[in-house]
Amino acid sequence: MLITDVEIEGYGRVDVRLGGGRVVGIGRRRAGRGDVDGRGGALLVGLHDHHVHLAALAAEAASVRVGPAESGDRDGLVRALRSGPPGEWVRAVGCHESVAGELDRWVLDGFAPDRPVRVQHRSGALWMWNSAALRAAGLDGGGDGGDGRFWREDERLRGFTPPVRLDLRGVGARAAAYGITGFTNADPHPSQDLPELLSLLPQRLVVMGIGDAPVKFLLDDATLPTPGELAASVAAVRPRPVAVHCVTRVQLLVTLLPLEEAGPVAGDRIEHGAVIPAETMPWLARLGVTVVTQPHFPRERGREYATEVDPDDQAHLYRCRSLTDAGIPLAAGNDAPYGSADPWAVMRAAVERSGGEAVDRRAALDLFAGEPQRPSQVRRLAVGSVADLCLLHVPLKEALDLMSADVVRATFVGGRRITPPE
């Protein structure tokens, strides 16, 4: 394939030839037609979403969104749960206490008694079922149903619910329109057949816990291992890298000690890094561990964070600029469906952060330009590089000024176009 008249950093306006899934030539523009006329738009490496939950994202097509932005309040939640024919299962996602307070089976019974209802908390960690759902699943006997609240029991519950239609083709098409050429799926306990299921996606995949991908460790404050126990678990999977879910101050501290003891390896990651106290930053920098963060969460969840997050932690939420200034490798993931699936929205949020955490526009783009297995190692286009590419309608400077998915014109994986032809 020959792509003519594109702008590439370090080369200016050039023609690019692709072959065998790689860039095989970058040269000055010549007269004549190519397979794709770039019209002077920037050609970039494709974006990689370094933290996403693809099956959950694909299930949104069969779900009702009931978060603060969608439901607004209790009445809006009730209307959403009662929509659709009586008796059919309702799968609702994105709920937060700010909508209607704490939910359990009895509260949900009052909202929608005539159909099985299951509601997922915005964190993705908690499901809340009503009595009709518990009865339909056979979980309402012998004390199994309890209050209908299930914390991190997705694997067990999966066998008790009707199959959910996964719109993977839709996920792949929307991601391609954003310029995404690869995903890192961050589920903590992936089934061995998950890569085959996700193979419907046209993007490249890294599935945590499978093959040579990082092994995910999911920490919760209520069930935290001791540093020694976690160090033993990390040592047991070496030489593979680890990706440790850290959303609280104590989770980060419990993680850094084991990484020090077991010895860090290339590819080790802190997922989220929601709270990173300033005093831990030299430690993180010394270990060389990459923080894969979500700089858009303070914008999307700012109202709730203002009241829910400990005042001592407010200044340490989802750091960006301060991490890079401290020499800590940084990358980003959407955490979709628990956050926006649009990487350009994440970039805008990173640029517009307050409290000294804003990064410049090029650095924001680079949060999604890292190597799939080494997220902080930014890829650049050159002869011999993999032809995972994002062609823009406009030059790079204009794209950085706009910072919108509207600038994406075409997306290529291995030299094959995965966006519809014009």
What string of H, E and C letters represents the secondary structure of 138-199? CCCCCCCCCCCEEECCHHHHHHHCCCCCCCHHHHHHHHHHHCEEEEEECCCCCCCCHHHHHC
For residue 322, report the phi and psi dihedrals to the nearest 5 degrees. -65, -30
Distance of CA 46 to the CA centre of its chain: 16
Runs of H (alpha helix) within 264-334: 281-287, 297-300, 302-308, 321-325
Tens digit of each residue's pLDDT, the chain (422 residues): 999 999 999 999 999 999 999 999 999 877 668 899 999 999 999 999 999 999 999 999 889 999 888 998 999 999 999 987 778 899 999 999 999 999 999 999 999 999 999 999 998 889 999 999 999 998 876 555 689 999 988 888 888 888 889 999 999 999 999 999 999 999 988 888 999 999 999 999 999 999 999 999 999 998 999 999 999 999 999 999 999 999 999 999 999 999 999 899 999 999 999 999 999 999 999 999 999 999 999 998 988 888 889 999 999 999 999 999 999 999 999 999 999 999 999 999 999 999 999 999 999 999 999 999 999 999 999 999 999 999 999 999 999 999 999 999 999 999 999 999 88
pLDDT for the residue 144 = 59
Indicate the length of the chain as a whole number: 422
Work out the end-to-end distance of the chain between its first and last CA atoms, rounded to an integer number of angstroms.
Answer: 16
- In whole angstroms, what is the distance from residue 20 CA to residue 28 CA? 21
Which token pair is 273?
């890094």
Alpha-carbon distance of 251 to 272, in angstroms, equals 11
DSSP label at residue 63: S
What per-residue confidence (pLDDT) applies to 158?
A: 81
What is the pLDDT at residue 145?
62
Please list the residues that pair with 150 across neighbouring strands.
127
Structure tokens at 75: 């009445």
Which single residue is written with the structure tokens 């991490």? 323
The burial class, CB within 10 Å (0-12 / 13-18 / 19+), for 56 is buried
227 membership: H or E segment, kind and range: helix 227-237
